[in-house]
Structure 1
Amino acid sequence: MKKLCSWLLVLVLAAASLAGCGSQSTDEGSKQSEENSAKQEQTAEPVDVNIAALKGPTAMGMVKFMDDVDKSEVDDENYNFQIAASADEVTPKLVQGELDIAAVPANLASVLYNNTKGQVQVLAVNTLGVLYIVENGETVQSAADLKGKTIYASGKGSTPEYALNYILTENGIDPAADVTIEWKSEHSECVAALANDPSGIAMLPQPFVTTAQTKNPNIRVALDLTEEWDKIQENKEEKSALLTGVVVARSEFVKENPEAVANFLDHYKESVDYVNENTDDAAKLVGQYEIVTEEVAKKALPECNIVCITGDEMKEQLSGYLQVLLDANAQSIGGALPEDDFYYSE
């Protein structure tokens, strides 16, 4: 009898053990299924990413990225690029959802954020100061010398206008009364105006400075507006830097496609590094995409201050710049500083 009980106890324990193993196997199978499902989500189908850049440094920083896409060397998403001559071409498409990501003037990003109630986020600073005062002659040796002059410029309502106004004002010059600014719709029009005016003065960004000098070797850089901005900061308690452009995205697109946004930034950073480290090869690509000629790009690229600054550094630099613009003209940034959700965080 004792032996029978012992055998029964052994059988019960064995059955319990088998049941436990079956349960463990089921749990492991369920866990594996969940992991496979998660992997499938992570490797979702590529999404369409519609991107626009302006004809200038912002597009120049993307040329390696664009070339890789055209060669089918990048296929994690379906990237579609377009190059625009002015921000006016980009803004409505971004607001209407025809574009997902765009390179725009730094202040315009804030205006879009405020006007759309947060429907735009900034992903990166892509261009530092690239604005210069150039002239046919030697009349301008300091910012004070601009008083009484006529200046050809483009970028009204965006970074170039507000940067110029800030520098003029801080040097005791009333932009509305002490200078005449002839606004053109595109930088190329300023180059043409300069070519037709023997005593002309213009505010131009790179690479259009180099384009103008190619057409007329007598044109010289009179003032680097980044240096003039920095001089003003020497006596300020809260300092700022002159920024020209940023990359923004629709907030809805960022929320729905976090992996696509991360992929874009990875490729964009790689492209910027390539452009900055391989001037000759990058210049060929710039010419290939008809941003400017290869010859101009080769000379201009080292002066274009192309960057890809993200995260906390982006927020620090951009918020400081927007504060300066707010103090000078609140409407230049849409009436108020953007909230923290304006700044994309990886």
Structure 2
Amino acid sequence: AELAQLVIAEKTDLAVIPEPWVTEVMLRSPSARVLLDFQEEWKRLENRKESYPQSCLVVSTKLYQEHPEVVKTFLQQAGLASDWVNDNRAQAGILAEKFVKISANAATDAIPRCNFRFAIASSVKNEVDYFLNSLFEFDPEFLGGKLPDAAFYLPQ
């Protein structure tokens, strides 16, 4: 958010910022332009249908072993929440203004470009593995010097 404010104030000429802040900048700074969409470039350069994973929920083995139903329920609700945001952009924008501190208009307009798509990691394992392998090939230290093993994914 701070970098977006610098772009809006024209105190920087180049920035890499995520949605929804890109949309906030575009709405508030007529001179700003998007030069590169990392998601689209990944798909183009890597010849992939889907983009790279942007975020994940990390659950400790202990929590999952001691409370598997809580974790499963949370994941189900997270999926429903993701669907709700995509289906109710205007209402989600109002909530974003209240809790994320971004304008409702920017949040509403940005939602389609935020690529909200909830998936259990094991169901998109090939995409996650491809991404992790790409990071590892570039610099193994990005992943602590080794690729994650099968325990990285929660059982279905």
TM-score by length of 1: 0.42
What is aligned with 2:40? 227
- Higher share in helix: 2
- Contact (CA 8 Å) 2:122, 2:154: kept in 1 or not? no
- Contact (CA 8 Å) 2:26, 2:33: kept in 1 or not? yes
1:312/1:249 CA distance change after superposition, 3 Å = closer
What is aligned with 1:288? 98
What is aligned with 1:66? none
State how many pairs are aligned. Answer: 156
What is aligned with 1:303? 113
CA RMSD of aligned residues (A): 2.1
SS of match in other structure, 2:55: strand
- Contact (CA 8 Å) 2:6, 2:12: kept in 1 or not? no
Residue identity opposite 1:190 in structure 2: L
Q: Show CA shifts across 1:236-282 (max 9, x none).
A: xx998422111111221111100100110111111111111111111
- CA shift, 1:221, in A, is 1.1
Identity %: 27
Q: 2:2 pairs with 189, 203, 215, which one?
A: 189
Q: 1:328 pairs with 126, 138, 146, which one?
A: 138
- Contact (CA 8 Å) 1:240, 1:320: kept in 2 or not? no
- CA shift, 1:218, in A, is 1.8
Q: Show CA shifts across 1:155-192 (max 9, x none).
A: xxxxxxxxxxxxxxxxxxxxxxxxxxxxxxxxx22213
1:276/1:222 CA distance change after superposition, 3 Å = same
1:198/1:258 CA distance change after superposition, 3 Å = closer
- Contact (CA 8 Å) 1:233, 1:239: kept in 2 or not? no
What is aligned with 1:258? 68
1:196/1:297 CA distance change after superposition, 3 Å = closer
1:242/1:210 CA distance change after superposition, 3 Å = same
Q: How does 1:86-165 map to 2 (within 5 A)?
A: none
Q: Does 1:216 align with 2:52?
A: no
1:223/1:193 CA distance change after superposition, 3 Å = same
Residue identity opposite 2:8 in structure 1: A
Structure number, greater radius of gyration: 1
C-alpha distance in 1, partners of 2:102/2:7?
18
SS of match in other structure, 1:230: helix
C-alpha distance in 2, partners of 1:240/1:275?
20
Unaligned runs of 5+ in 2: none
What is aligned with 1:275? 85
Larger RCO (CA within 8 A; separation ≥ 6): 1
C-alpha distance in 2, partners of 1:296/1:241?
22
SS of match in other structure, 2:34: strand
- Contact (CA 8 Å) 1:233, 1:240: kept in 2 or not? no
SS of match in other structure, 1:285: helix
- CA shift, 1:295, in A, is 1.8
C-alpha distance in 2, partners of 1:285/1:239?
31
SS of match in other structure, 2:141: helix
- Contact (CA 8 Å) 1:226, 1:242: kept in 2 or not? yes
- CA shift, 1:311, in A, is 4.8
Residue identity opposite 2:21 in structure 1: F
**Divergent runs of 4+, >6 A:** none
